[in-house]
Amino acid sequence: MVQAPVKTQEITLMLASPRGFCAGVDRAIQIVEQALSKYGPPVYVRHEIVHNRYVVEDLERKGAIFVEELDEIPDDAKVIFSAHGVPKSVPEAAEDRGLFYLDATCPLVSKVHVEAGRHFAQGSEIVLIGHAGHPEVVGTMGQLPEGAVTLIETVADAEAFEPRDPAKLAFITQTTLSVDDTAAIVAVLQRRFPEIAAPHKEDICYATTNRQAAVKSMAPKVEAMLVIGAPNSSNSMRLVEVAERAGCRVSMLVQRASDIDWQALQGISAVGITAGASAPEVLVEEVIDAFRAHYDVRLETVPVVQENVSFKLPRALMS
């Protein structure tokens, strides 16, 4: 068994600001909670409402039932679509069955869906920069007929891509990507296809951009970075990568305080702590408490930008 550090050792914990919940995640969770309050349990949710087991399990205790497909839901049930967005075929199938549904898709993801539809209507071939299999990518590609969107994951993909007509080409992106990786891919596409249409406003969401900027700001001041989040959370995994590239010799993802590798932190005097956009602040507090049980802790907040974004709930929940 690994010995924990002696508690008399001092350590500085630098807390990223902003961190944790973004407006889209907060809205999605509110939609489930308000639906449970208004309609009573159970309320079904297609896919994890956000990628965080603590959040999902908390909602399950309140009466939410999480499923992967609509055929797991009874005919008289109420269903919510996750914050990541769904292919058009999903609400169509719900309507065919007469299911009552609420769409918790993040408005910034919906913006990308609208962009894709606009480019398609104009006859453009669409490139989506993103990660294969991620629910957001599945949902975005599912807005249009099969073959209308080409997925590009890497710079190599961008170099190899051959469009039908370079003069009728547009790109969109997943909202939770690495800002730097995406910029490198976009640079290749724009070099190869100077006429490619870009989003009117960057698709990578404000929360992803801000959390990555906060990690970059903290990285030179710390020896290790702890990112609180889930392994299936794209924005959380990107924060781990950003910290590594910014020079943190230890960069680890933890879902809960129990995941902390204390041995990897031996001899380290300054640790950065951040949280992915779907990780609640209670988990940050849990990690801080765990450090206090092992170290003499000094807390410091590293503010980068103040966020004041909020999104309205669906009308059905407002009445």
- 284-299 pLDDT tens trace: 999 999 999 999 999 9
Q: Count CA atoms closer than 13 A to 284's CA, side-chain side.
A: 23
Which of 204, 229, 244 is the C-terminal boundary of a domain?
204
Determine the pLDDT at residue 108: 96
- 126-182 pLDDT tens trace: 999 999 999 999 999 999 999 999 999 999 999 999 999 999 999 999 999 999 999
Residue 4 has pLDDT above 60, yes or no: no
Determine the pLDDT at residue 259: 97
Q: Do 237 and 295 reside in the same domain of the chain?
A: yes
Classify residue 113: in a domain, yes or no: yes
Determine the pLDDT at residue 202: 86
In percent, the amount of the chain with pLDDT more than 90 equals 95
Determine contact, residues 314/102, Cβ cutoff 8 Å: yes
Q: Do 169 and 215 reside in the same domain of the chain?
A: no
* pLDDT confidence bin for 206, thresholds 50/70/90: very high
- 89-137 pLDDT tens trace: 999 999 999 999 999 999 999 999 999 999 999 999 999 999 999 999 9
Residue (of 148, 140, 142, 82) closest to 112 by Cα position: 140
3-state SS assignment for residue 131: coil
Determine the pLDDT at residue 158: 98
Classify residue 57: in a domain, yes or no: yes
Q: Do 194 and 220 reside in the same domain of the chain?
A: no
Domain residues for the domain of 225 are 10-21+206-303
- Average of per-residue pLDDT across 187-207: 94
- Contacts of range 243-247, beta carbons closer than 8 Å, 24 or more positions apart: 243/215, 243/219, 243/272, 245/180, 246/215, 246/216, 246/219, 246/220, 247/219, 247/220
Classify residue 114: in a domain, yes or no: yes
Residue 192 has pLDDT above 60, yes or no: yes
Classify residue 157: in a domain, yes or no: yes
- Average of per-residue pLDDT across 60-75: 96
Classify residue 137: in a domain, yes or no: yes
Can you give the pTM of this predicted structure? 0.93
Which of 140, 174, 204 is the C-terminal boundary of a domain?
204
> What CATH number does the domain containing 58 carry?
3.40.50.11270
Residue 201 has pLDDT above 90, yes or no: no
Q: Do 118 and 186 reside in the same domain of the chain?
A: yes
Q: Which amino acids are annotated catalytic?
A: 136
Classify residue 308: in a domain, yes or no: no
Q: Do 198 and 211 reside in the same domain of the chain?
A: no
Classify residue 163: in a domain, yes or no: yes
Which of 204, 222, 255 is the C-terminal boundary of a domain?
204
Domain count, the chain: 3
Classify residue 199: in a domain, yes or no: yes
Determine the pLDDT at residue 200: 85
State the DSSP H helix or E strand holding residue 256, giving kind and residue range, or none if neither. Answer: none
